[in-house]
Structure 1
Amino acid sequence: MANDPKKPQSKKGQQSQSENARIRQRRAERRAEEAAKAAQSGTASGGAGAARTAERRREREQEKQRRRLTSTALIIGGLVLLIAFVVIVTNIPAEAPIPDSTSTRYAGLQIGSTEQGYPRLGSVTASVQVVEYSSFDCAACRNIHDQLIDRIIERVRAGSIAFIFVPRFGTGEIVNGQGAAEAALCAGEQGKFWEMHDALFNWQGIYGNQAFTNNRIVAGANALGLNMSAFDGCTRFDNTVPILETARQQALNAGFVGTPAFTINGVQPVDENGTPILTADGIIAEIDRRIAEFGTTAPTGAQPQATLEATLPAEAAVQSDATPEAASEAEMTPEATPES
């Protein structure tokens, strides 16, 4: 007989349904607990991951900081070593040979200076006054010095001429030309300009761009027997700077941009084409021509002093025919032709 769905269930059936409902409820509760635990576990894992990430970030920053400190320490250490090396090198005594000929070359000559402070050999009253604008850092100046100096000295010693050196710097390629010029002028304060002058040109030929290091200049001053306290004071306090500035301005006013440059009794010697004469033979020939023209000493009543300004080369022919008195007063105009 078929069951009637509308027929009330038995007590046993109702109990079975209640039990099933409780089972389902417990299962749902367990799933909820498991879900809650899973959520809690995920949150904990996420927090731990964030903590690990932050820790790794801190470690990276610390490593960067260590690297920066190491690099800084290496740089500072390198600079200290470099400074120590420079100090050691600059204080190592340098070779500073004094040419053998220097001790006798200038012996017995009249030595003085012009009103501007330029060194002079010979008498201020000599009938022929030769002026050279020169620079210790200039290779051409060294060459002309080597070829000319003994021939100049011969004529100075004979009383035929006076020779004036106008110190320039920066017209050549050798480093510290100003220091060399200052050293020579400071040596001149102790009567040793010409000896230092020879030594500086000699060093240029031997040592090239290392010729005028400070330690070499100091060693040279010692070798010349200078009072080093006075020499150091002269160079340290720039005693000679006004002389060098006057020389620079005077050369520019005369149109002498480069070195060497010469005047004889205020006139720049030129050839038949009006080109400045800059060979040793050419300079000596012009000097001897002036000696023959004016004699050894100044005429009575004349006081020929080299005017340290140059005459236009175009006027040279006129000046060469001038009387001794006129020649001794020759002056250069500022429009002088520059050296080629």
Structure 2
Amino acid sequence: MGGAERNARKRKQEQQQRSAGAKAVSKARGGGVNTRMVAAVVGVVVLAAAVIGGVIWTNSSKNETEGQTIATGQPAGNVASVREGVVVVTGKPDAKATIDVYADFLCPACGQFEKTYGPQIHEQVEAGALRVRTHMLPMLVEQSDPPGYSLDSANAALCAADDGKFTQFHDALFHSQPEEGKRGYDKAQLIKLGQDLGITNAAFPACVNAGTYNQQLTAELARAQNDPGLQRDFPNGRRGFGTPTVAVAGKAITLDQDWLTKVLAAPQP
């Protein structure tokens, strides 16, 4: 074999080797791209599933009151309540002490107030030592989803008061209090609670559905917010009205641990 032939053959082998190497590199690069593409697609699918799952969980949590029957709770005792405008008065007229309680059915702090002090208040009312004037206010009317539970529940409680069931209705709504920012109870659920408590009067559902006391409740909220005697200092440095507020003789008092004992022991104006 001559030198020229050997050189030609060598060049051909080198070309074949370069071609095979290029194909291997191309295949490897193509595989890397495909791997990255698959990984990216999988990541997008997992993220989408997480987002969808989060939305479903959030909606479920937000709407957890939907379709629920509000528990009626324990019997409220034997002391009757009387509606006086948008204030409900419970207790004997000759009770030693009288307090005004301002609250909102959606207010978390009001729920805690009822849990902590409600039994003591009921006990003193039953004993004839305490008279309670309850003002249920639509303070957080925009803080439910959909808005309006704060006002609907306050109105429904006054409708229940017209049938002598205010205390039972009041206690049941606080016992099963919805979470602020989420769905409250709708009017049908509020009507069902009243009926479960023994209200048979056809005027009750009509009162709830019509929002009979809505205007008066809104006016009472404005009055309370602008009453100098009900202004309090808050931890953030703000001064104003908030719920829950307890007042004696028109003046807000400090809700320390022994506030009720102090009220009962103090000379009444």
TM-score, normalisation: structure 1 = 0.50
- Name 1:124's counterpart in structure 2: 93
Is 1:107 paired with 2:77? yes
Cα distance, 1:189 vs. partner?
Answer: 0.8
5 Å-filtered alignment, 1:243-322, equals 243-254=216-227, 255=231, 257-269=241-253, 277-279=254-256, 281=257, 285-294=258-267
Q: Percent identity?
A: 22
Change (3 A) 1:243 1:193: farther
- Name 1:59's counterpart in structure 2: none
Question: Which protein has the larger Cα radius of gyration, Structure 1 or Structure 2?
Answer: 1
For structure 1, the 5+ residue unaligned runs are 1-88, 270-276, 295-323, 328-340
- Name 1:57's counterpart in structure 2: none
Cα distance, 1:213 vs. partner?
Answer: 2.2
Change (3 A) 1:235 1:213: closer
- Name 2:176's counterpart in structure 1: 203
Task: Give, as a single letter, the amino acid of the residue that structure 1 aligns with 2:218.
Answer: E
Compare the two structures and name the one with the higher strand fraction. 2
- Name 2:68's counterpart in structure 1: 94
Pick from 104, 107, 110: which aligns with 1:141? 110
Give the Cα separation in 2 of the matches to 1:110 and 1:126: 14
* Contact 1:137–1:177, Cα closer than 8 Å, also in 2: yes
Aligned length: 190
Change (3 A) 1:214 1:111: closer
Deviation sequence 1:111-145 (CA, Å, 0-9, x none): 2233x341111123323111111000111111111
5 Å-filtered alignment, 1:116-265, equals 116-171=85-140, 173-175=143-145, 176-204=149-177, 209-227=182-200, 229-254=202-227, 255=231, 257-265=241-249
Cα distance, 1:206 vs. partner?
Answer: 7.8
TM-score, normalisation: structure 2 = 0.63
Cα distance, 1:205 vs. partner?
Answer: 5.0
Compare the two structures and name the one with the higher helix fraction. 1
Change (3 A) 1:263 1:121: same
Secondary structure of the residue that 2:266 maps to in structure 1? helix
Give the Cα separation in 2 of the matches to 1:166 and 1:207: 19
For structure 2, the 5+ residue unaligned runs are 1-62, 232-239
* Contact 1:171–1:259, Cα closer than 8 Å, also in 2: no
